[in-house]
Amino acid sequence: MKNMKKILSLMLALVMMLALASCGSAGSGAASGSATGSGSAAEDASDLAYVKDKGTLIVGITDFKPMDYKNDAGEWVGFDADMATAFAKSLGVDVQFIEIDWDNKIMELNAKSIDCVWNGMTLTDEVKKSMATSNPYCDNAQVVVVPADKADQYQDVDSLKDLSFAVESGSAGEAEAKNQNLTYTSVSTQSDAVMEVSSGASDACVIDLLMAGAIIGEGTSYPKLTHTVKLNSEQYGAAFRTDSDLAEVLNKFLADSYKDGSMQKIAETYGVQESLIAQ
């Protein structure tokens, strides 16, 4: 009987030792797994590594001449499009352009549907808070577009109060219309806003000065439209996901491109050279 008790005691002790050894091994594995997870997170934090690994920089844009628009061959061109293509080349990757709903640009970035927003984007406080932005590279303004034969009636903000406006949803133009307490309807793009005025559906629209210079007035698709009141002054920049390391990489690219004259050459192609900001 005593021998039986001793055997049971030894077996119980052995079971406890095995249990303790198993817990220790599990704890060690958990610690090891945590370290591995940390390394993976560090890799995920690098947008540069992510873009290089997949071999493509996906750029979110809208149809916005002279920054991003399709040529007769159906290719995306423009000052921003050409600069984005050159930037992608400097990274050793291809570039892909995707038209996005401008209101959803931050969501598209965070979902990794796109890697970058590069489309004559105004560097507002909201933009700089929600995304990792580049240094500004172009000056711009929001201007009022009206039929040329009525332009003399609308030369200051007070004269705009009774007009119906069209603005791009989520744009700096919409924000300025709101700031000025103008009556407006939101449309999908700035191009649509101009079409609203041309067709007579809206009395006026608010769009970017650089776009106005490219698509309205004599020699353009909208020769009977002109711009009058300048509502503000602003600057353009590109943006990436929050805390993305690509923002600083782009800043260096912009500085190098400005220094070697390639940025100026692209700007002259699209008539925006006077708006360039020294890098």
Q: What is the pTM of this model?
A: 0.76
Task: Output phi, psi for 214, to 5 deg.
Answer: -95, -30
Q: Return the structure tokens found at 69.
A: 């628009």
pLDDT of residue 4: 46
Q: Tell me, which fold does domain 142-232 have in CATH?
A: D-Maltodextrin-Binding Protein; domain 2 (3.40.190)
From the list 68, 51, 55, the residue with the least C-alpha distance to 238 is: 68
pLDDT of 42 strictly over 90: no
Every domain of the chain and the residues it spans: 1-44, 47-138+235-275, 142-232
CA separation for the pair 81, 88 (Å, rounded): 11
Q: Mean pLDDT, to the nearest integer, of 260-266?
A: 98
Q: Return the structure tokens found at 99.
A: 């038209």
Confidence of residue 45 (pLDDT cuts 50, 70, 90): low
Confidence of residue 9 (pLDDT cuts 50, 70, 90): low
Confidence of residue 11 (pLDDT cuts 50, 70, 90): low
Tens of pLDDT, residues 129-174: 999 999 999 999 999 999 999 999 999 999 999 999 999 999 999 9
CATH class of 47-138+235-275: alpha beta
SS (H, E, C) the chain: CHHHHHHHHHHHHHHHHHHHHHHHHHHHHHHHHHHHHHHHHHHHCCHHHHHHHHCEEEEEECCECCCEEECCCCCEECHHHHHHHHHHHHHCCEEEEEECCHHHHHHHHHCCCCCEEEEEEECCHHHHHHCEECCCCEEECEEEEEEHHHHHHCCCHHHHCCCEEEEECCCHHHHHHHHCCCEEEEECCHHHHHHHHHHCCCCEEEEEHHHHHHHECCCCCECCEEEEEECCCEEEEEEECCCCCHHHHHHHHHHHHHHHCHHHHHHHHCCCHHHECCC
Q: Are the folds of 47-138+235-275 and 142-232 the same?
A: yes
